[in-house]
Amino acid sequence: MTKGYLNFVLHGHLPWVLEQGTWPHGEVWLHEAAAETYCPTLSMLTDLSEKKSYTEMATIGLTPVLTEQLAHPRFKEGFVNYLEDRINASYKDKDHFNWIGDSETAKLSVRWVEFYSSVKEQFVERFNKDLTLGYRELQDRGAIEIITSGVSHGYLPLLGKEESVNAQIKGGQHIYRYRYGRDSSGIWLPELAYRPSYKWRNPVTEEEFERKGVEYYIQKNNMKYFLVDTPLLRGGEGIGTYLDRFTALQLLWQQYEKQKQDIQGENLSIYRPYIAGGSENLENKVSFLTRDDKTGILVWSGEHGFPGDGYYLEFHKKHFSSGNRYWRVTGSDVDLGEKKLYEPIKVVERLDENSAYFVKMVKENLLQYYDETSKPGSVVSPYDFELLGHWWFEGVGFLDRVINLVSEDDEISMITSKKYLETYPPKADTVVSLPEGSWGKGSFHWIWLNQDTMWVWKYIYECEEIYLQALKDFKKKHHKDFSVTKRLINQMGRELFLLSSSDWTFLISTWAARDYAEHRVSQHYESFKKLHEIFKESHENSLSEHQFQLLDKLEKEDSIAWEQDVYKWFEL
């Protein structure tokens, strides 16, 4: 008898990097994540589905901007080239280490050859270079659930216009339907950032107006649920995963901490779903699921969790010039120069122990909840997908073991968010009004809105205003060359989406690839403004050769949703 469920929710997301640099920032981000996370996890889940007939194994979020990149012809060819380069680099490592008499590290080089060769075979032969189709087929078999997000992962509570909030969610649903053949039941709100309905003041223009809660646009676009971090339901502090990784965030937090407001929350269980306050008057009520912080820290934290185990692969130390990693964590306080050599045999033992401990904790919490309520609850364990495999190399093996252990248990089972909500929907009297907030330390907007990022929001708010007026002009006037004008209004929409990505303000605040993020913000802003000037001229005249070349160039480089009329998503 099943007395409880484990629901892994894996949030796969990367900003648009195609045609936007290769290394150290740009397309290599996508290639690394595909090689270490997206492709190996897809292969592992497909094996479990085909060989063991497992179903409902995980809820996997593939953001629209990630989905569009994985489906793009440039990625499909570029990824094969990347894997071939990695294989060749690993062979050179093997020859080098053998030449200097380091046979142990040479053996690890062979393991990298085997790893990248396996990923290449999976990608080319098993999945025919189409990872989105592979995940879609898993969902069609009931093995997983896929959910969407905002088109470009825009930070919804801070976007200046309701049309922009709706466009992020509406476009997310549209791209999902186009790529995965159905509507998405749920949404991973970008940065888990929620905003209720209230009179909002723009932090730049100080304009005030009544805004609808995010749940209104979720319901409007035929979605049933979203997820929140623990403090938004119960109060207290967020885990603050990234605070340990970035010194710049620690300094920023010291400034913010003095003025933050504590979230009071309610003493409610995180093992059951609730109806979002503000949606109780909607025709179709919107539910939310809450992150389990007890299991969360075991996987999130490099300091307190499994990824910090001394025998796992050290992420930060790489061999020059291949970039391969040959060392283990050793200890959190051990200098990179003192890291010890990786021991694959020992890793198997650590994975077995860690996965068993994780399942033990999940089961104890679920059985306790069942004893108290006589109802099966669900432990919702949401993580950045890229954590498993990329940041924590052994994470895919951990996921594999946990799914197997839970699936073989008599009292607990794996489940997806949609399946759990269909089986155990929240009752009409379980309405909870959530506070505004996001995930991480402080549970609010400080990482994305601060003195270092205010200029970004000025750009976003300016372009939102211009674009909505341009849309009015586009609809009103009869254009001499309608197809060109339509191309312009669509590409302006794409530039606005890419400008609004939450990734840029995060990278600026953390000083991780800050120059790259600032460049991307400026680039999309300037591209938007240039397109707008051409758009205004296109009302009267034909485009010049130079203007056509610019439009062609931007359509090629910033081609998110390249097959869609994105301007239509901004209609309320």
Reading the block at residue 510, the tokens are 């953390």
What value does the CA radius of gyration of the chain take, rounded to a whole number of Å? Answer: 24
Instruction: Give the rounded distance of the alpha carbon of 352 from its chain centre.
Output: 27
Reading the block at residue 27, the tokens are 């397309």
Question: What type of residue sits at position 55?
Answer: T
Question: What type of residue sits at position 268?
Answer: L
Q: What is the largest CA-CA distance in the chain?
A: 75
Question: Cβ distance 127 to 357 under 8 Å?
Answer: no
Q: Of the residues 93, 309, 314, 384, which is catalytic? A: 384
Cα 414–Cα 419–Cα 424 angle in degrees, nearest 5: 100
Indicate the pairing of strand 274-276 with strand 287-290.
antiparallel
Question: Cβ distance 5 to 362 under 8 Å?
Answer: no
Q: Of the residues 163, 191, 386, 503, which is catalytic? A: 191
- Is residue 24 reached through a cis peptide bond, with omega within 30 degrees of 0 on the bond before it? yes
The answer to whether residue 429 is catalytic is: no
For helices 344-373 and 395-407, give the axis angle rounded to 10 degrees: 40
Question: Cβ distance 20 to 520 under 8 Å?
Answer: yes
In 3-state terms, what secondary structure has residue 275?
A: strand
Using alpha carbons, select from 415, 510, 509, 444 the residue that is nearest to residue 229: 444
Residue 489: HSE in the Cβ half-sphere, 13 Å Cα cutoff: 25
Instruction: Give the rounded distance of the alpha carbon of 47 from its chain centre.
Output: 24
- Is residue 185 reached through a cis peptide bond, with omega within 30 degrees of 0 on the bond before it? no
Helix (H) or strand (E) holding 371: helix 344-373
Question: What type of residue sits at position 336?
Answer: L
The answer to whether residue 229 is catalytic is: no
Question: Cβ distance 439 to 292 under 8 Å?
Answer: no
Handedness of CA 485, 491, 495, 500 (dihedral sign): positive
Question: Cβ distance 129 to 76 under 8 Å?
Answer: yes
Which residues have a catalytic role annotated? 191, 384
